[in-house]
Every structure is written in structure tokens, then in C-alpha cells.
Structure 1
Amino acid sequence: MTEPFLIVEHEGAVLSARLNSPQTRNALSEPAQMDELVELCNRVRRDRTVKAVVLSGEGSAFCAGGNVKDMRERGGIFAGSPHDLRESYRNTIQRIPLALYELDVPVIAAINGPAIGAGLDLACMCDIRIASDKALFAESFVKVGIVPGDGGAWLLPRAIGMQRASLMAFTGETIDAAKALEWGLVAEVVPADRLITHALGLAQRIAGNASHALRLTKRLLREGQHMRLDSLLEMSAAYQALAHHTHDHLEAVNAFLEKRAPQFTDR
């Protein structure tokens, strides 16, 4: 039986998932891999106990992007005619940004090693990126004669600005963790042996807040990227009305005034 592509662990309110194909540096080429990532998002959407997700990779890489050997052999998601390829992209890897980027639960990318091509774009689908000091980054599609097919042309400029995104996409060259931090591609760089502990600690801090407020806040941040201010204010007013009438809001206020830790019940 084929091993699952994702190793998933759920402890308390934090779910962690690791890409589990270290022999291919966690490359993305098989439809079943895409299905697992999308189903993970569906699972988290259904599970109200999850308040934060940490995504990382097994082995030395975070994700090496598309499998170049499959590209050469026109296998995996790269098989078939141009029409077949278009439908393959739409029905496999392009489902990931729609599922992951739109997930209401905050997602932290713990980038343990190279994040290349689709691997970099996968990291950009997450809300917060924390890099190991061994991490490397490249929007490398042009190096193998193709274009970002998974949303990278939309994601990367929003992470680091159009000029730097253009520099990465037009050259395909690699930057290290220090440069990624300087450019705002990642929020933090930590020693490799502390990465997962640090990311899980951050996830626990996030998960210590009220679930409804977290989910609504993430939705506002996402919608605010493409809405007018007046439209976002209307949406914020509606979300705020919902938040004010939750039990967890009253619990948070009482805990603050009573100088104690809140006990949230997702109500």
C-alpha cells in the first residue's frame, strides 16, 4: 500500500501536517497528493476543534515543486495533450490554492528547507511563513521553460511586492533565508533544530484565542486584499456584530477584567 503523502498529527487545537515524500524532496506531481492536501483543508473546515495548522516537509526540503523527471517523461499531472494538461492543472494542483488560501483557520508554513517553484507558491498560500536558517526559495518555473501554473503570479507579488516578485520570477534564481526575511517573504528565521518547536509554539499562541474571532479575523484579512475600504467596513460591522454575541467574547472580557486566563468553549 502506498504511504500517505501527508503525515497529520492533531494535538489540542493545533493540527500539524508534513509533506512525506523525502525521496523526491516532497515534489508535487501526482493527483493523489493534491487530493490529500485538498482533503486536509476540507477536514479542518469540518473540525471546529482545530484553531491553527502548521505545514512543513519531511527530510531536507519543504517542497521542491513539480517533479522534473515527470516533466521530462510527461507523466503524472504533466501527461497528455495541451487540452489534457490544462484540465489536469485545473483539477489537481490549482485546487490547492483555492482550498488552502481560503481556509478560515490560520496556517503557518514551517519551511524546513528548499521551497522551490510550486513549493514556494505553496508556502505563499499560508498566512505566516517561518523559515529554517537552511531554507532556500525560488520562483523557478522559467528555469525549466514554464510559467507559474498554481497561482504564484497572484500570490508572490502580494507577499513581497511586484518588483521583487518580478525579479524572482524572471530570473528563477534562488534566495536564502536571510534575504527572504529582508524582503518580507518570511516573518522569522530560526535555527533548523528549533523550527518545528517554534512554529508549534506560535500555533499554540494563536490557538489560545477564541475560535470564532480567529476565523472571522482571517476572513477579513483575506477579503481586505481585494475589497474597497467601504465594503470591508460593512463586512467588518457584520462580523463584529456576530463576535459580540458569542459566549467566548464575554468570557474573554471577564477574564481580562478578572486577570485570569480565559476558558473558551467555541460558543
Structure 2
Amino acid sequence: MEQTVEKLIGFELVDGVGYITLNRPNARNSINEAMFESLLRVLQRCETLDSLRVLVLRGEGDVFCGGGDIQFFRQLLTATPASRQQQLAGYIHSAHQVIAALMAIPCPVVAAVQGAAAGYGMSLACISDIVIAEQGCQFIPAYTALGATPDGGLTYLLPSLIGEKRALDVLWLNRAVKAEEALDWGLVNRVCAPGLLAQTVEEITATLSQGARQAQRNLKKLVTERARSQLSQQMDQELNSFLTCAATDDFIEGVQAFLERRPSQFKGC
């Protein structure tokens, strides 16, 4: 067994199955800049590991991933619009590097989702090849509640999976999609009973790890090759849109409302 554990990102390789663990449970595995950097390093290493047959992305604790780091957004409230945009540009660039690195992984990528996949966590689930969700978990976009638009390729990935009309309904209304509904729509591949997530993931990875390695990698490339360039272009547009939104008073209101646990009160004009 090969094992590497960083403070915020864990990685271990067991019999050809790699496990990447988001390890910030006290913050609902929300991802800060340090996590993005560590996660990118691990993914870049995984891309070159010949012994890697399947990669599993999972979160420590009760929640898969709560999205972006709210403490980072808190400190943006006192910044000027220009400074806010500059800081966000670097943060979102790191987030998009991780998505691109995940798409570049040549072997099957499996996401194990419990509790919630919110904001950027929803993007991590969508970019995975197979998503196993535990009953009771929810997929929550969160962006419009902050007065912003999605990043992480979500505006490309979600419509590709569930269709444009459903995607707009979910994103505009910030609607939580429950595991069973996500299964019916094609957002997830399997829904398992509470407490059986790890077992279900193990069963799937065992089957995948015994498959024909070259055929699996070629198949993934054939299916995703066209999407890769389109996703890259879409993430560039997402970055520009997010930065435009971040310069508005609505963004300030959205972040403040989230921190104060109250509904946002946007100007509406």
C-alpha cells in the first residue's frame, strides 16, 4: 500500500485503487486555497501512476464537500471591487486547474458522496465518471444565493448530464436535488442505503480494477475527448462571469446573508 497524507488532502493507493480524501470535516470539507494546491499536486501525480486502475474521490466526515471556503469569501467583504476580483481570479483559477486535472485522469474516477455536494463540491461530483450517492444526500448549487454564477465547469457539466431546462431550474432557484431525484435525472449512477457507501464503492472499484486497463482508458478518452476542450472554454467564461458578479452589491449581500444564515435580499434591478 502506498500512502501519502497531507494536512488537508489524503491519498492512498491500495491494489490499484487510489483514494483521494478531502480532509477538512470541521468545515464541511469546504475547499480553501491550500486544499486546491494539495489536490492539484495529488491529481498530477495520479495522472502518471501506471499502477493506478481506479481513482476514488471522497470526503471525510458527514459531508462530501461544502463548496468554496466561506472564510475566504468573508474577507472579500471589506475589499474594494477591484481587489475582490483580483483575489477571486486566483482562487477560481486554482479551482479550474483541479477540474481540468480530474478530467485528465486516464482511468475511471468514482465520487463517493454523502451528506451534501454543494457549490464546487457539486462540480467535483459532476466531473467524476461514476457517482455513488448515499440516501439522504443532496446536490446544492448555492451560487445564485451568493449573487454569483457557477464556477468549476458546472454550467457545462450539469446541463450535459440533466438537460438545459432542469439545469436552469436547479441553478436559478438554487434547488437542492435529493439523491433519488439525482439518480432519476442521470446526475448519479447509484444510490445506496445509509452506511453502505464505502461498501458500494468498494464493489464497483473491485469490478473496474479487474477490467482491461487499456480498453477502459481508451473508452474514457473516446467518450470525453470532445468535452474536454468545450469544458475548458466554458470555465474561462465562468471565471469572467463570476468576477463581474463579484463587483456588485448583490455579491456583498449574498455573502453576508450566507454568513448570517438568512435569506438574501437582492435589489432586484
TM-score category of the 2 structures, normalised to the smaller one: 0.7 to 0.9
Within-5 A mapping of 1:168-179: 168-179=170-181
Q: CA offsets per residue over residues 201-259 of structure 1, 9 Å max, x none?
A: 201111101222211111111025489xxxxxxxxxxxxxxxxxxxxxxxxxxxxxxxx
Instruction: Tell me which residue corresponds to 1:198.
Output: 200
> Does the C-alpha gap of structure 1 residues 19 and 226 become closer, same or farther in structure 2, counting only changes over 3 Å?
closer
AA paired with 2:13? Answer: H
> Does the C-alpha gap of structure 1 residues 117 and 203 become closer, same or farther in structure 2, counting only changes over 3 Å?
same
Work out which of the residue numbers 5, 9, 32 in structure 2 matches 1:6: 9
Work out which of the residue numbers 39, 54, 58 in structure 2 matches 1:52: 54
Instruction: Tell me which residue corresponds to 1:218.
Output: 220
AA paired with 1:18? Answer: T
Q: CA offsets per residue over residues 120-177 of structure 1, 9 Å max, x none?
A: 1111110011100021111110011111122111111111111111111101121211
Instruction: Tell me which residue corresponds to 1:82.
Output: 85
Structure 1 runs (4+) greater than 3 angstroms displaced:
78-81, 224-227
Work out which of the residue numbers 106, 109, 118 in structure 1 matches 2:108: 106
Asked if 2 retains the 8 angstrom alpha-carbon contact of 1:97 and 1:125, the reply is yes
Instruction: Tell me which residue corresponds to 1:25.
Output: 28
Secondary structure of 1:192's aligned partner: coil
AA paired with 1:67? Answer: D
Q: Give the Cα separation in 1 of the matches to 2:69 and 2:38.
A: 17
Structure number with greater CO (CA < 8 Å, separation at least 6) is 2
Residue 82 of structure 1 deviates from its aligned partner by 1.7
AA paired with 2:65? Answer: C
Asked if 1 retains the 8 angstrom alpha-carbon contact of 2:76 and 2:84, the reply is no
Asked if 2 retains the 8 angstrom alpha-carbon contact of 1:54 and 1:200, the reply is no
> Does the C-alpha gap of structure 1 residues 190 and 73 become closer, same or farther in structure 2, counting only changes over 3 Å?
same
What are structure 2's unaligned runs of at least 5 residues? 230-269
Question: How many pairs are equivalent?
Answer: 222
Confirm whether residue 137 of structure 1 aligns to residue 158 of structure 2. Answer: no
Residue 46 of structure 1 deviates from its aligned partner by 1.5
Asked if 1 retains the 8 angstrom alpha-carbon contact of 2:20 and 2:58, the reply is yes
Asked if 1 retains the 8 angstrom alpha-carbon contact of 2:68 and 2:120, the reply is yes
Residue 95 of structure 1 deviates from its aligned partner by 0.5
Secondary structure of 1:147's aligned partner: coil
Q: Give the Cα separation in 2 of the matches to 1:111 and 1:38.
A: 20
Residue 79 of structure 1 deviates from its aligned partner by 10
* Structure (1 or 2) with the larger CA radius of gyration: 1
Instruction: Tell me which residue corresponds to 2:71.
Output: 69
Identity of aligned residues (%): 30
What are structure 1's unaligned runs of at least 5 residues? 228-267
Secondary structure of 2:56's aligned partner: strand
Q: Give the Cα separation in 2 of the matches to 1:84 and 1:178.
A: 37
Residue 3 of structure 1 deviates from its aligned partner by 5.4
AA paired with 2:139? Answer: F
AA paired with 1:14? Answer: V
Q: Give the Cα separation in 1 of the matches to 2:117 and 2:95.
A: 16
Q: Give the Cα separation in 1 of the matches to 2:228 and 2:44.
A: 24
TM-score, reference length from structure 2: 0.77
Secondary structure of 2:182's aligned partner: helix
Q: Give the Cα separation in 2 of the matches to 1:138 and 1:79.
A: 29
Secondary structure of 1:105's aligned partner: coil
Confirm whether residue 15 of structure 1 aligns to residue 18 of structure 2. Answer: yes
Asked if 2 retains the 8 angstrom alpha-carbon contact of 1:79 and 1:85, the reply is no
Q: Give the Cα separation in 1 of the matches to 2:100 and 2:63.
A: 23
Q: CA offsets per residue over residues 168-199 of structure 1, 9 Å max, x none?
A: 11011212111111111111100121111111
AA paired with 1:142? Answer: T
Q: Give the Cα separation in 2 of the matches to 1:134 and 1:18.
A: 21
Asked if 2 retains the 8 angstrom alpha-carbon contact of 1:94 and 1:150, the reply is yes
Asked if 2 retains the 8 angstrom alpha-carbon contact of 1:25 and 1:62, the reply is yes
Q: Give the Cα separation in 1 of the matches to 2:227 and 2:49.
A: 26
